């Protein structure tokens, strides 16, 4: 029965892939090609394929596969695996901001039309944009609450960066290791002392996403190194204490997540409270 179910799943995935290719090549491109110059038709076809057809096909494919394990990574807007979760810091929002400010890591601008256009210009001309916005990744059913970054060689194309999601300490204690831990959508009050669950990665240039071929930052695949770098910077700045290492969600073996290599570990630390 299990083999039959797996066979049916693969046949459905194959059929979905064939249908997507047919829709892109024989419907979208042909219609555009009849009405527009070839190069413009190709551009429109790419836009439909990368940002509309393929993301939806992949979301449907993931539902067919019925992935029910506890995730150790964030989710993109298209429903795909994103950056691995690898850092957790206990403290208030004010303490978190103060810690990264002391390290010289600016807070990322909120993603908007204006900040996106500023990022595009900075990326094309390689001009500094120290507070460049991040694309939105999802954890606990919502986009990141805050993010920090440090440019490499003063370039917007290369940077250390980390996204954070606030999680109530009480809820974390009640649901740690269970699927419900990852389904919390409520953001705690800014004044509350919470667990800031983070995903740290290093941007290295320009790339296309897997499967959908959307334009995005290329990232260093070894997120373990970036996690250790962020923690070492915070330790050198005497911003954290009581550092421990846990497994994210359930215990998972060393594995590849999307195009990343991760050992599934989260480094947990507590922010140092500096008395004024």
CA 31 to centroid of chain Cα atoms: 35
Is 217:206 a contact under the CB 8 Å cutoff? yes
Choice between 239 and 179, residue whose per-residue pLDDT is larger: 239
Q: What is the per-residue pLDDT for 233? A: 94
pLDDT digits (tens, 9 = 90+) for 71-127: 577 877 766 678 888 898 999 999 999 999 999 999 999 888 888 788 878 877 888
What are the b/e assignments for 71-84, b being 16+ CB within 10 Å? bbbbbbebbbbbbb
pTM above 0.75, yes or no: no
Q: Averaged over 142-156, what is the pLDDT?
A: 90
End-to-end Cα separation, the chain, in angstroms = 65
Q: What is the per-residue pLDDT for 218? A: 65
What is the domain partition of the chain in residue ranges? Answer: 2-65, 73-271
Percent over 90 (pLDDT), the chain: 20
3-state SS of 42-87?
Answer: HHHHHHHHHHHHHHHHHHHHHHHHCCCCCCCEEECCCCCEEEECCE
pLDDT digits (tens, 9 = 90+) for 183-194: 556 788 888 888
pLDDT digits (tens, 9 = 90+) for 31-51: 887 888 888 878 888 777 766
Q: Give 151's strand partners.
A: 159
Q: What is the per-residue pLDDT for 209? A: 55
Give the span between the Cα atoms of 120 and 131, in whole angstroms. Answer: 13
**Residue 213, pLDDT above cutoff 70:** no
Query: What DSSP state is assigned to residue 183?
Result: G
Query: What DSSP state is assigned to residue 221?
Result: S
Give the span between the Cα atoms of 82 and 219, in whole angstroms. Answer: 11
Element (H, E) at 199: strand 194-208
pLDDT digits (tens, 9 = 90+) for 127-142: 889 998 888 888 877 8
The SS3 call for residue 88 is strand
Q: Averaged over 10-29, what is the pLDDT?
A: 79
Query: Is residue 257 very low, low, confident or very high in pLDDT (cuts 50, 70, 90)?
Result: very low
Choice between 223 and 230, residue whose per-residue pLDDT is larger: 230
Choice between 167 and 52, residue whose per-residue pLDDT is larger: 167
């Amino acid at each position: 029965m299990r083999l039959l179910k797996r066979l049916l799943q693969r046949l459905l995935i194959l059929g979905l892939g064939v249908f997507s290719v047919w829709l892109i090549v024989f419907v979208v491109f042909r219609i555009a090609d009849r009405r527009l110059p070839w190069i413009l038709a190709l551009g429109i076809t790419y836009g439909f394929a990368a940002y509309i057809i393929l993301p939806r096909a992949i979301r449907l494919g993931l539902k067919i596969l019925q992935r029910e394990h506890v995730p150790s990574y964030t989710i993109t807007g298209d429903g795909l695996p994103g950056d691995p979760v690898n850092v957790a810091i206990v403290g208030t929002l004010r303490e978190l901001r103060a810690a990264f400010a002391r390290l010289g890591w600016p807070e990322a601008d909120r993603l908007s039309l204006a900040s996106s256009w500023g990022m595009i210009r900075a990326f094309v001309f390689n001009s500094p944009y120290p507070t460049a916005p991040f694309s939105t990744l999802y954890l606990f059913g919502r986009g990141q609450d805050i993010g920090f970054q440090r440019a490499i060689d003063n370039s917007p194309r290369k940077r250390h960066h980390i996204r954070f999601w606030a999680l109530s300490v009480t809820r974390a204690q009640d649901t740690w290791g269970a699927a419900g831990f990852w389904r919390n959508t409520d953001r705690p009050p800014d004044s509350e002392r919470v667990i800031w669950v983070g995903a740290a990665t290093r941007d290295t240039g320009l790339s296309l996403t897997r499967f959908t071929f959307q334009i995005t930052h290329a990232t260093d695949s070894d997120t373990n190194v970036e996690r250790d770098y962020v923690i070492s910077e915070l330790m050198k700045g005497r911003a954290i204490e009581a550092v421990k290492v846990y497994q994210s969600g359930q215990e998972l073996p060393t594995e590849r997540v999307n195009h990343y290599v991760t050992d599934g570990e989260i480094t947990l630390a507590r922010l140092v409270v500096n008395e004024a």
